[in-house]
Structure 1
Amino acid sequence: MSALGLQATGDALAAIDRHVPALVEAEVASRLSAQDPTLWGPEAEEESSRRLGWMDPFEDSRALVPQIEALRTELAAEGINRVVLAGMGGSSLAPEVIAATAGRSLTVLDSTDPEMVGNVLAAGVTDTILVVSSKSGSTVETDSQRRVFEQAFTDAGLEPGSRMVVVTDPGSPLEQSARESGYRHVFTADPTVGGRYSALTAFGLVPTGLAGVDIAALLDDAEETREVLSTDDTDNPGLQLAAAMAGTDPLRNKLIISDEASGMVGFGSWAEQLIAESTGKEGTGVLPVVVDAGDPETRSDAGDLLQIRLVSDPEDREESFDRPDGSGASDGSGATGASSHHAIEVFGSLGAQLLLWEFATAVAGRILGINPFDQPDVEAAKTATRGLLDATAGGSFQAEPETAIGAVQVSGPAAVVQAGGGGDLAAVLDAVSQLVPDRGYLAVQAYLDRLGYTELEVLRDALAARSGRPVTFGWGPRFLHSTGQYHKGGAPEGVFLQITADSDLDLDIPGRPFTFGQLLSAQAAGDASVLREHGRPVIRLHLTERTEGVGALLHAVNGANGSDA
């Protein structure tokens, strides 16, 4: 099989030495392989008994491969070669990584921003198949995307059902409506697999297989890895990774994930959802912070940070971790010591790592003493959004600004608003940075087109340098199905910077009394209200004009950096 393993140093290595023998003695690996729901205690048993199918999805998943390949051949013969995926969270993040790593084109539509939806539609639909992916079959974002594409196919003179493929759980409302409407194909997935653990099920395989990925090879790597992960042995890399993630003492609860030529594209964003949504509850958990190699967090020695580096196989690299006594890893299959930096290097093929991280995250839940399969605070934000949509027909859901700086309206804590009183947006960003507590983090939440405004991501690195603390960057509403759970349920250490914007473009959602713009605004306002109810500080920068507002923010970033010099 392909190499898989990790190397650890410092507190990560100490956590492995402390926890892995106990995990082996408790037969956690073999019990998880056997889908034992008692591993997380009696309070989690009912939920976990319905959520462990991801540990052995291979029979069902392999049965899908010829169906997906046959459909791909059919579509190609009809000149349909553009695959658009409408899905959120676990339904979109894994397919995006799988397709990008394989170098295959897959358009992932996981937004309600009217500009992003409009741009995906503007690329044309005559050569397009839409994969509508939702476990529940009632995800509001995905349903809205489905509706607008169905209208676009009709307007183009196409039969909508012939251009729609559905992935959902059996018995969902989406399955029923898709079959009644005669959609091209309906794939049902194993209902015992939660969304964020569904990478190797129909949710990960259908869109990527249609895009041309060799999904059989992906499954081969993962299935071989399952044999290693099922073994009660101290060399088990899944047990080692779980111990390092969740067993440091005191807990290093910010996982700084950087990719250093791993060969995987965007893996950190998938792992971010898996870990944050699984562990961020009951006031504990570990927060993934996805960064680039060399970013400020990778150079920090703060006591609450653990470095996780995604790397290539050590056999393909000249450098590797060495023990202080000069010894090192012999075959890359287990943990080794290194320098004084507290870090883990993880390597392996994509298929192997998808299952490795699912396994390690579930075991980390046991170490932390929480249920890794529920997400109570994600539902709270959804409820708040629905309430705003129901209560305010046609409203903008925007709070009155407390101060305005050109095209940017600023609201939030008094210290931030006062900093903007002189018309200096850099001073606002500086004040935001100063709000972050010693062991805290800043979460930037941008409710804009994530493909059209990628330059905004420079805020993450700049604010990390200014604050000296970890900074996450999430595109709304995408992150609501990811780190949104940790924001409310994890350690109360976060400060939240929302960036919202008016748009010259809005799109109706066929059959709904609200537009995409109104839905996005309600999602931002709903999440902010839940954060505030949890006592989290929320700062809102609303751009009354997108291009001008984005330009002002980028200029302010330079000012904030300059003030640090």
Structure 2
Amino acid sequence: MSSPGVHGPPTGGNVRIARQEQRVSLAPDLLAAVAATLEEWQAAGKIGRLWARDPTLWTDGDEARWLGWLDVVPRQLEQAPALAGLASELGREGFTDALLLGMGGSSLGPEVLERTFGRVPGRPRLHVLDSTDPAQVRSFESRVDLARTLVVVSSKSGSTLEPNILKAYFWERVSRVVKPENAGAHFVAITDPDSQLHREAAGQGFRRIFFGEPGIGGRYSVLSAFGMVPAAILGVDVARLLAGAEEMAAACAPSETVERNPGVVLGAVLGTLGRAGLNKVTIVASPPVVALGAWLEQLLAESTGKSGRGLVPVDREPLGGPDVYGSDRLFVYVRHTCGVDGTQDEAVEALRQAGRPVVEIAVDDAYDLGREFFRWEIATAVAGSILGIHPFDQPDVEASKVATRELTDAYERTGSLPLETPLLEEDSLALFADASYAASGLGMAAGGDATLARCLRAHLAGLTPGDYFAVLAYIEMNEAHESELKQLRRIVRDTRRVATCVGFGPRFLHSTGQVYKGGPDTGVFLQVTCDDPVDLPVPGRSYTFGVVKAAQARGDFAVLVERGRRALRVHLKGDATEGLRALTRVVATAAA
């Protein structure tokens, strides 16, 4: 079957699929495999089955209850006038900032909207805080005048640890500024009906409580209240954004043939190539839409990374020439037609000419995000079917939460976390590893002559074709740290020819953490932790934000070890930025 949206390299001009430009370039064998998948979807009426919420399309489990996102757009369009009214109300009352507290699906969509649209004149600046790192919490607090700030507490379940302790912290801080009896007017909640947060917000007199839909999972919720309320506060024209999503929903409907269905074609490429081992979905995005990658990371990783299968998203990795990449890559280029980066264009074209699989999606402006959100949700559901997994659950995310809870509970009983002993220490760096991996993976015998560089060299030597390297950084997410980690990634990618990922903790636990623990056992992990010279209390608890972050890092590491993953941890003593630079130097030595 010939698909007008799928081409073999190097031929094939821009082809519009159902009103949205999507160009797919594949080698002949992959082209044939995707075409066969599309034929099978057409013959078996699978698009109709998807829209009919047929769970047998996946694992015949509870998938049907999680497909409310398919028809959420019309319901949200009905709410658009009320949301516009909220935005005007905040402007009249002089609110200059809005601080959203959330994790995963509650924070990543709003972050994409804020970073893509920027500040809208006459509307509050939106800040999205999804960290327990004390330095990051302090940094966000310092950016706003709490007397003129709206705090948006966003949590689907209403019981998630991070937004709950952030809410407690900022409730206390706002109460000091505007008096306790006035604090509620500075808070808005977004949550599912009858959640713990719903009850607390009602009791504390929050200005508004917006409800999500129980039939929509967090990572699919951006077109529901979890994305549209922050969008309205930011000053986005919600009706226009949703109109784009509605257009894409129509293009992905059963009335369209599979080869003209942009979401199904994309999902067929993702699933078919993923099943063939090309499962490192490498996201390249033009500068105006670069933030979309973080949302895609969660959608792809948390939806597909389970039962030993899954797509590993690779976001913001520095671009290189075709020769630095392994054969396990699928490149997705989200190209902003009015914000083109010539260097990206040249690099992607070189990849295409070298026969690398490339999907190129054109967007024209920020409002095209509505279309992209829906396109990718359909594509992920399709890819999940092809991979044979349940794309709407996240069984391995809970494991880290349980491990963290055990540690924080122990802290509240004893006043301390369990003592740890590093394998070795060098200047500002301390190395930790599970004893069995230290002996087998690193070759560290008792009394052996080990150095940090030798241990890291042994760790990196375990990388083989098809593996990936992930840095799990429990440090403040800022430009300096991102820049240093980009350099570290480049070193490993260029010397080992493997995909590289970075996740800032604890936010990645609600995103890529699922595929790291439940997906293919092809990851080599380097966890990075740091001292917290200035900590912050959690009101009503004996532990602090720094203790919570430490417990999350330890819990995360324990689950990786439990799952048999290859993992090391390096702790940065003293200044985190200087420690990260020292670590990059050691990695460069180890990789040479």
Q: Structure 2 length as normaliser, TM-score?
A: 0.86
Instruction: Provide the rounded CA distance (Å) in 1 between the counterparts of 2:317 and 2:99.
Output: 27
1:121 aligns with 2:134: no
Shift of 1:99: 1.9
Instruction: Provide the rounded CA distance (Å) in 2 between the counterparts of 1:536 and 1:133.
Output: 32
The aligned counterpart of 2:52 is 34
Alpha carbons of structure 1 residues 23 and 262: separation in structure 2 relative to 1, 3 Å: farther
1:136 aligns with 2:161: no
Instruction: Provide the rounded CA distance (Å) in 2 between the counterparts of 1:561 and 1:432.
Output: 13
The aligned counterpart of 1:354 is 373
Instruction: Provide the rounded CA distance (Å) in 2 between the counterparts of 1:223 and 1:77.
Output: 31
Alpha carbons of structure 1 residues 499 and 397: separation in structure 2 relative to 1, 3 Å: farther
The aligned counterpart of 1:341 is 356
Shift of 1:199: 1.0
1:285 aligns with 2:313: no
Alignment of 1:155-234 (within 5 A): 155-158=176-179, 159-230=182-253, 231-234=256-259
Shift of 1:30: 2.7
User: 2:146 aligns to what SS in structure 1?
Assistant: coil
Alpha carbons of structure 1 residues 144 and 243: separation in structure 2 relative to 1, 3 Å: same
Q: Structure 1 length as normaliser, TM-score?
A: 0.90
Instruction: Provide the rounded CA distance (Å) in 2 between the counterparts of 1:68 and 1:398.
Output: 50
Instruction: Provide the rounded CA distance (Å) in 2 between the counterparts of 1:428 and 1:552.
Output: 17
Residue 245 of structure 1: which of 270, 273, 276 is its match? Answer: 270
User: 2:534 aligns to what SS in structure 1?
Assistant: coil
Instruction: Provide the rounded CA distance (Å) in 1 between the counterparts of 2:252 and 2:418.
Output: 48
**More divergent stretch after superposition (538-547 vs 147-156):** 538-547
1:509 aligns with 2:538: yes
Instruction: Provide the rounded CA distance (Å) in 2 between the counterparts of 1:93 and 1:435.
Output: 32
* Superposed CA RMSD: 2.7
Shift of 1:418: 5.5
Shift of 1:338: 6.8
Alignment of 1:267-282 (within 5 A): 267-282=292-307
User: 1:234 aligns to what SS in structure 2?
Assistant: helix
The aligned counterpart of 1:488 is 517
Instruction: Provide the rounded CA distance (Å) in 2 between the counterparts of 1:551 and 1:382.
Output: 30
User: 2:209 aligns to what SS in structure 1?
Assistant: strand
Shift of 1:439: 2.0
Residue 66 of structure 1: which of 55, 77, 81 is its match? Answer: 81
User: 1:257 aligns to what SS in structure 2?
Assistant: strand
User: Quick check: 1:429–1:557 contact (8 Å CA) kept in 2?
Assistant: no
User: Quick check: 2:331–2:358 contact (8 Å CA) kept in 1?
Assistant: yes
1:112 aligns with 2:127: no
Instruction: Provide the rounded CA distance (Å) in 2 between the counterparts of 1:100 and 1:388.
Output: 35
User: Quick check: 1:8–1:344 contact (8 Å CA) kept in 2?
Assistant: yes
Letter of the structure 1 residue corresponding to residue 23 of structure 2: L
Alignment of 1:286-365 (within 5 A): 286-292=311-317, 294-295=319-320, 299-312=323-336, 340-348=355-363, 349-365=368-384
User: Quick check: 1:15–1:243 contact (8 Å CA) kept in 2?
Assistant: no
**More divergent stretch after superposition (420-429 vs 176-185):** 420-429
Instruction: Provide the rounded CA distance (Å) in 2 between the counterparts of 1:274 and 1:516.
Output: 27
Residue 55 of structure 1: which of 70, 86, 93 is its match? Answer: 70
Shift of 1:378: 0.2
**More divergent stretch after superposition (379-388 vs 463-472):** 463-472
Letter of the structure 2 residue corresponding to residue 506 of structure 1: D
The aligned counterpart of 2:559 is 530
Bigger relative contact order, structure 1 or 2 (CA pairs below 8 A, ≥6 apart): 1
Render the CA deviation track for 1:349-388: whole Å, top value 9, x for unaligned: 2111110110000011110111101100001111111111
The aligned counterpart of 2:485 is 457
Instruction: Provide the rounded CA distance (Å) in 2 between the counterparts of 1:320 and 1:561.
Output: 26
Instruction: Provide the rounded CA distance (Å) in 1 between the counterparts of 2:167 and 2:261.
Output: 43
Letter of the structure 1 residue corresponding to residue 39 of structure 2: P
The aligned counterpart of 1:436 is 463
Instruction: State the number of aligned residues.
Output: 543
Alpha carbons of structure 1 residues 561 and 409: separation in structure 2 relative to 1, 3 Å: closer
1:405 aligns with 2:421: no
User: 1:156 aligns to what SS in structure 2?
Assistant: helix
Shift of 1:416: 4.9
User: Quick check: 1:403–1:417 contact (8 Å CA) kept in 2?
Assistant: no
Instruction: Provide the rounded CA distance (Å) in 2 between the counterparts of 1:417 and 1:120.
Output: 43
User: 1:135 aligns to what SS in structure 2?
Assistant: coil
User: 2:48 aligns to what SS in structure 1?
Assistant: helix
User: Quick check: 1:12–1:343 contact (8 Å CA) kept in 2?
Assistant: no
The aligned counterpart of 2:391 is 372
Alpha carbons of structure 1 residues 190 and 177: separation in structure 2 relative to 1, 3 Å: same
The aligned counterpart of 2:508 is 479
Instruction: Provide the rounded CA distance (Å) in 2 between the counterparts of 1:541 and 1:316.
Output: 38
Alignment of 1:252-267 (within 5 A): 252-259=278-285, 261=286, 263-267=288-292
Residue 521 of structure 1: which of 550, 553, 573 is its match? Answer: 550
Shift of 1:83: 1.1
User: Quick check: 2:317–2:500 contact (8 Å CA) kept in 1?
Assistant: no
Render the CA deviation track for 1:133-155: whole Å, top value 9, x for unaligned: 00000010000110000000011
User: Quick check: 1:32–1:55 contact (8 Å CA) kept in 2?
Assistant: no
User: Quick check: 1:253–1:285 contact (8 Å CA) kept in 2?
Assistant: yes
Alpha carbons of structure 1 residues 219 and 283: separation in structure 2 relative to 1, 3 Å: same
The aligned counterpart of 1:332 is none
User: Quick check: 1:441–1:470 contact (8 Å CA) kept in 2?
Assistant: yes
Alignment of 1:78-97 (within 5 A): 78-97=93-112
Render the CA deviation track for 1:167-188: whole Å, top value 9, x for unaligned: 0011111111111211010000
Residue 31 of structure 2: which of 10, 13, 16 is its match? Answer: 13
User: Quick check: 1:12–1:344 contact (8 Å CA) kept in 2?
Assistant: no
Alpha carbons of structure 1 residues 426 and 320: separation in structure 2 relative to 1, 3 Å: closer
Instruction: Provide the rounded CA distance (Å) in 2 between the counterparts of 1:315 and 1:225.
Output: 22
The aligned counterpart of 1:148 is 169
Letter of the structure 2 residue corresponding to residue 266 of structure 1: A
Shift of 1:301: 4.7
Shift of 1:425: 5.0
User: Quick check: 1:426–1:556 contact (8 Å CA) kept in 2?
Assistant: no
**More divergent stretch after superposition (397-406 vs 161-170):** 397-406
Instruction: Provide the rounded CA distance (Å) in 2 between the counterparts of 1:446 and 1:461.
Output: 16
> Percent identity of the aligned residues?
38
Letter of the structure 1 residue corresponding to residue 114 of structure 2: A
Shift of 1:28: 2.0
Render the CA deviation track for 1:109-154: whole Å, top value 9, x for unaligned: 0000111112212233122111100000001000011000000001
Letter of the structure 2 residue corresponding to residue 39 of structure 1: L
Shift of 1:39: 2.0
The aligned counterpart of 1:326 is none
